[in-house]
Amino acid sequence: MNTKIIGTGYDLPAFAADNNYLATLVDTSDEWIVERTGIRTRHLAKEETTTSMAVNASRQALERAGMQAEDVELLIVATISGDTETPSTACRVQAEIGANRAVAFDINAACSGFLYGMHVAEAFIRSGIYRNALVIGAETLSKLIDWTDRSTCVLFGDGAGAAVLAATEETGIISQSIGSNGEKWEVLECQGRPNGNPLCEKGQELKYMTMNGQEVFKFAVKTVPLCVEDAVEKAGIGLDEVKYFLLHQANKRIIQSVAKRLGQPEEKFPMNLDQCGNTSAASLPILLAQMDEQGLLQKGDRLVLSGFGAGLTWGACLLEWQK
Ligand code: ACO
């Protein structure tokens, strides 16, 4: 049994903070941020939460799929910024949308999380255990960021995207691969809550996200082309037969470099990072849903989704659009 996407949705916080606004917080400038990253603005949550954005994205995806929440069998949320340590964001979304028959859990694979979620969902559908899945990427990274650290705070944004996957006799997802390298975990990290049990030293601070930007950059431009080529080769097709390469929206220079390494024109690499920044696990499903909404995807189009992130983790998915 194959798997296809039958509905997409997304949600962004109402407040958009442009680079000039960030320049009032840290020593930076619109010029520096645009030149090094391509980012011009990003949405930051004020009232919104990871759960509320995931719920809105899910409702839109289900509506566009023509599916009722109570028919969802598997509900996966990819996130590193849930509103509660426990329960999972997936369980909270399940309750809010009324997906009362679904099994629900979170995946923590940072910016590769949505691709990990797609991979797990497809494996369940292919094996016949479930007939459909709601896969969501949702983040409120703004709460993990040190707003005095100019090297990270200019990069990230908040939002959520969702896709409804269903079993199909059509082609749908053609090949997928995901990977991890835990040896590099310190390159991009956010420490959790300090242990406050009576045996531990008191007064430890909550830590924020830290990143070795150049290491991440090198890793991304090396790994993404390899996993994209792998996904395409496995399918026995050429890169030229892919209509769009949707890459994790971290940095315009990374995307341009990947395009060059793959020998593909930049027009095949859609971007929304100028408006959304890096929304981690939400980045790919937001981009996909926006393209779907804009009518850019035609039945039969071959798409590659690929990303990379903390862990380190990465992944790629080649699919034939069947909506
Ligand atoms: N504004 C102005 N100056 C800045 C800023 C800023 N926001 N941030 C850093 N600088 C300064 C640095 O202090 C440094 O100054 P110095 O030369 O006086 O020491 C100078 O700019 C150059 O800093 P670099 O870190 O060398 O800048 P670089 O060209 O590497 O760009 C960047 C930094 C944009 C972070 C780049 O390394 C990058 O994009 N890396 C990939 C990051 C990424 O994609 N992360 C997320 C992926 S994983 C995930 O999505 C969770």
Instruction: Enter the tokens of residue 216.
Output: 């991440």
pLDDT one-digit tens code per residue, 79-114 = 999 999 999 999 999 999 999 999 999 999 999 999
Domain assignments of the chain as residue spans, ordered by start: 2-171, 174-320
| Residue 213 neighbours by CB distance under 10 Å | 16
Pairing state of beta strands 132-140 and 74-78? Answer: parallel
- Please say if 19 is a catalytic residue: no
CA of 151 to the centre of ligand 1 (A): 5
| Bridge partner residues of 133 (DSSP) | 165
Q: What is the pLDDT of residues 222-281, one digit of tens each?
A: 999 999 999 999 999 999 999 999 999 999 999 999 999 999 999 999 999 999 999 999
In the DSSP assignment, the letter for residue 156 is B
* Of 219, 250, 243, the residue nearest 318 (C-alpha): 243
Ligand 1 atom nearest the C-alpha of 80 is 51
User: Could you tell me the end-to-end alpha-carbon distance of the chain, in angstroms, rounded to an integer?
Assistant: 17
Give yes or no on whether 2-171 and 174-320 have one common fold. Answer: yes
If you average pLDDT over residues 30-57, what whole number do you get?
A: 98
Q: Is 278 designated active site? A: yes
Provide the CATH number for the domain formed by 174-320 in this structure: 3.40.47.10
Ligand 1 pocket, residues with Cβ under 6 angstroms: 28, 32-33, 36-37, 110-111, 150-151, 154-155, 188, 211, 213-214, 216-217, 250-251, 254, 278, 280, 309-310
What pLDDT is recorded for position 144? 96
User: pLDDT (tens digit, 9 = 90+) per residue, 53-81?
Assistant: 999 999 999 999 999 999 999 999 999 99
Strands (DSSP E) found in the chain: 2-11, 15-18, 41-44, 74-78, 103-107, 132-140, 158-168, 173-180, 188-189, 210-211, 244-247, 302-309, 313-320
Residue 80 near residue 313, CB atoms below 8 Å: no
What's the CATH architecture for 2-171? 3-Layer(aba) Sandwich (3.40)
Neighbours of 194 (CB within 10 A): 13
Instruction: Give the global pTM.
Output: 0.96
